Structure 1
Amino acid sequence: MSDRDDEMMKLYSQRILALAADIPHHERLDAPDATVTKRSPLCGSTVTVDVDVEDGRITRFGQDVKACALGQASAAVFAAQAEGLTLEEARAGRDALRAMLKDEGPVPSAPFDGYAALEPARAYRNRHASILLVPDATVAALEQLADEKIAATP
């Protein structure tokens, strides 16, 4: 086995494959408060995230994920923590994941410490966008609702 094959085996570890096979909240919501679709132009991965929010926290979360195993694993980690998150918490989780991938930062702290499984993906920059799709879409949905609330305030 070549070094490249060994790296790929580490990248697609049993943990990543298990996460990808068991994505929570994998169905769309009926009449959500906000919906955002994001697509990675490099690989074509696409996600749609639906959220319902009450008092600034996600009360219901749904998603449709059409992505590689890494994108699916990321969606599983994020979705497992999504309900109850505020915009600030979702943004902090997304930003910590981005820093882990792009800047050799530490694994995000709890509740997003499940992203430790994706540490080997740091070396595969072409996969970063797919990994960030669900966190990006969730933050965008929450920002959309926050903007609507501000616009509706007299």
Structure 2
Amino acid sequence: MSGDTDLIKLYSARILDLAAEIPHLGRLDAPDASVKRRSPLCGSTVTVDLRVADGKIAEFAQDVKACALGQAAASVVGDAAIGCTREQIETARDQLKAMLKSEGPAPEAPFDGLDVLLPARDYKNRHASILLTLEATAEAMEQAEQANCA
């Protein structure tokens, strides 16, 4: 029964609040890049559309079909992404991965809200869903930069 109790604790009120209030839901009409990522383990998907100006995210939209943990991560990322550089997105992605898989600290600001997902460390089957939005955003930033250089 303790496993059930731990799982219930994982889905804290804060995580559920974040999952219910995901910023920038939807799609952009003419994005510089669009990336869809899927977690093969659970089937969660996230599609990120963005426009880049002066090396920073100028517009951001996301279509999120994920568990509450993936939705909470998307909420934090959606709140922080606009104005970020590719380096900031990649750093946040790498820090989140380290937090989940290697006992690393929570990502730095502006993605420090991802600390709410610290209890998910013990649930390896949830890690891919939690990482989807930052992975898709990093890939979209790379695509947008390549398209703008072409």
Instruction: Please indicate the TM-score interval, normalised by the length of the shorter structure.
Output: over 0.9
For 2:49 and 2:148, the matched residues in 1 are separated by 17
Which residues of 2 match residues 22-33 of structure 1 at below 5 A? 22-33=21-32
Residue identity opposite 1:51 in structure 2: L
In the alignment, which residue of structure 1 is the partner of 2:3?
A: 4
Equivalent residue runs for 1:58-137 within 5 Å: 58-137=57-136
The structure 1 segments of at least 4 consecutive aligned residues displaced by more than 6 Å after TM superposition are none
CA-CA distance at 1:115 after TM superposition: 0.8
SS at match of 1:61: strand
Give the deviation of 1:148 after TM superposition. 2.7
Question: How far is 1:109 from its partner?
Answer: 1.5
SS of corresponding position for 1:30: coil
Question: One-letter code of the match for 1:109?
Answer: E
Residue-by-residue CA offset, 1:118-153 (whole Å, 9 max, x unaligned): 000000001000000000000000011222344x2x
User: Retained in 1: the 8 A contact 2:51–2:144?
Assistant: no
Displacement, 1:110? 1.1
User: How much has 1:6 moved relative to structure 2?
Assistant: 1.7
Q: State how far apart, in whole Å, the 1-side matches of 2:33 and 2:81 are.
A: 14
Whole-Å Cα distance in 2 between the matches of residues 116 and 86 of structure 1? 21
**TM-score, normalised via structure 2 length:** 0.97
Which residues of structure 1 form unaligned runs of 5+? none
In structure 2, the residue corresponding to 1:47 is in which secondary structure? strand
Q: Hey, what's the Cα distance between the residues in 1 that align with 2:9 and 2:107?
A: 20
**Inter-partner Cα distance in structure 2 for 1:97 and 1:78:** 11
Q: Counterpart amino acid of 2:60?
A: F
Partner in structure 1 of residue 141 of structure 2:
142
CA RMSD in angstroms comes to 0.8
Kept in 1: contact 2:74–2:133 (CA 8 A): yes
Residue 72 of structure 2 aligns to a residue whose secondary structure is: helix
Query: Unaligned regions of 5+ residues in structure 2, if any?
Result: none
Give the count of matched residue pairs.
Answer: 150
Task: Name the stretch that deviates more: 124-133 or 141-150.
Answer: 141-150
Q: CA deviation at 1:62?
A: 0.2
Give the number of the structure whose alpha-carbon radius of gyration is greater.
Answer: 1
